[in-house]
Amino acid sequence: MTEHRDQLKKSMTTSEFAELGGGEVAYIKTLTSDQAHKMFPAIEGLPEGINLYALHAADGTPLALTDSMQAALGHALGDELEIASLH
């Protein structure tokens, strides 16, 4: 029983985590405009003081940045991505 608990506590390696979802799973993260500017420095003219929504692949790769949760969900559905819930 102790061996089983030890296996459950084992952390995923970086490469194992990067492969998670296999291009089929994504998550949506709410960002402030400042956070979005740091994550997406090539995007100019981001409005100040609003929340934005970033769609990420399971490995953390940013896929899209939108101004609404519905648009982020629409992008994920259009790419046939399953949305994972983050806790």
CB 63 within 8 A of CB 71: no
Separation CA 39–CA 62 (nearest Å): 8
With a cut of 60, say whether residue 5 has pLDDT above it: no
Domain parsing of the chain, residue ranges: 2-83
Q: What is the pLDDT, as a whole number, of residue 61?
A: 87
Buried b / exposed e along 47-69 (16+ C-beta atoms within 10 A)? eeeeebbbbbbbbeeeebbbeee
Q: Residue 64 pairs with which residues in a beta bridge?
A: 55
pLDDT (tens digit per residue) in 41-64: 888 888 888 999 999 998 888 899
pLDDT in tens, 63-87: 999 999 999 999 999 989 998 876 5
